[in-house]
Amino acid sequence: MLGPPGAGKGTQAERLARAIGIPHLSTGDMLRSNVANNTDLGRQAKAFMEAGDLVPDELVTAMVIDRLGQDDAACGYLLDGYPRNPAQAGSLVDAFGEDVLELALLLEVDAEELVQRLVLRGQEQGRSDDTEDVIRNRLAVYEEQTAPLVEYYESSGRLARVDGLGTIPEIFGRVIEVLAS
Ligand code: B4P
C-alpha cells in the first residue's frame, strides 16, 4: 500500500487485509508500538518519527524482515508503509526475491486534503507527528524519497492507482474493483 501520509493507507489496508484474510503489516503501527513500549528500537526511532523523517533503513528493514518471517505471513500479507524508498524496496528483493510484492496499490490524494485530514487526526488523537509543521515535512519526505517508488513499480507493471478522495467505503469499493480487474 503506497501513498502520501494521510492518503488512507492504514485505513484501507486494515479493511482489505480483513476482507482477504491476510495479516496487515503496518511499519508505522509497529514503530509506534515500539515507542509506546520503550524498546531499544522505539528509543532509536522516536526522534525521527516526531520530526516526520524516515526512521533509518537498517532499523525498519530488520523489523520488517523479522515480521515477514513469522508463520502468519507465510500465505501472504499486506504491507502498509514499507518500502518507503528505493533502498528499502531493494532490501526486500534481496531478502525474499523479485516476486516479494505482487502489486503496489497507490492511493492518490492532493496535498491540501492530506494536510486537513492529518491536522484533524492530530486534534482528535494527539499524535505527535500530526502537527502542521511536521505534516509539511512528511509530505516533502514523501515527494523526495517515496514518490520515486511509483515509477519503480509502474515500470515493472505492478502499480495500480486508486483515487483516494471520497468516503472510506467508496474508496474501498475502488480498491476491490482494481484488485478484481
Ligand atoms: P505511518 O504510520 O505510515 O503514517 P502515515 O503515512 O501518516 O499513514 P497512516 O496510515 O497513518 O494514515 P492514513 O493515511 O491511513 O508512518 C508514520 C511515521 O513512521 C513516518 O513518518 C516515519 O517516521 C515512520 N515510518 C513508517 N514506515 C517507515 C518506513 N518504511 N521507513 C522509515 N520510516 C517509517 O490516514 C490518515 C488520516 O486520514 C486518518 O485520521 C484517517 O481517519 C483519515 N482518513 C482516511 N481515509 C479518509 C477519507 N477517505 N476521508 C477523510 N479522512 C480519511
Q: Which residue has the cell 482528535?
A: 124
Torsion over CA of 41, 49, 143 and 28, rounded to 10 degrees? 60
Residue type, position 149, single letter? L
pLDDT at 135: 96
From first to last of its 181 residues, the chain has per-residue pLDDT tens of 999 999 999 999 999 999 999 999 999 999 999 999 999 999 999 999 999 999 999 999 999 999 999 999 999 999 999 999 999 999 999 999 998 999 999 999 999 999 999 999 999 999 999 999 999 999 999 999 999 999 999 999 999 999 999 999 999 999 999 999 8
Q: For ligand 1, is residue 54 a contact (CB within 6 Å)?
A: yes
**Active site residue: 67, 121, 158, 161, which one?**
121
Which numbered atom of ligand 1 lies nearest the CA of 49? 23
Look up residue 46 and give its three cell numbers: 522516536
- The residues facing 171 across adjacent strands are none
67, 57 Cβ separation under 8 angstroms: no
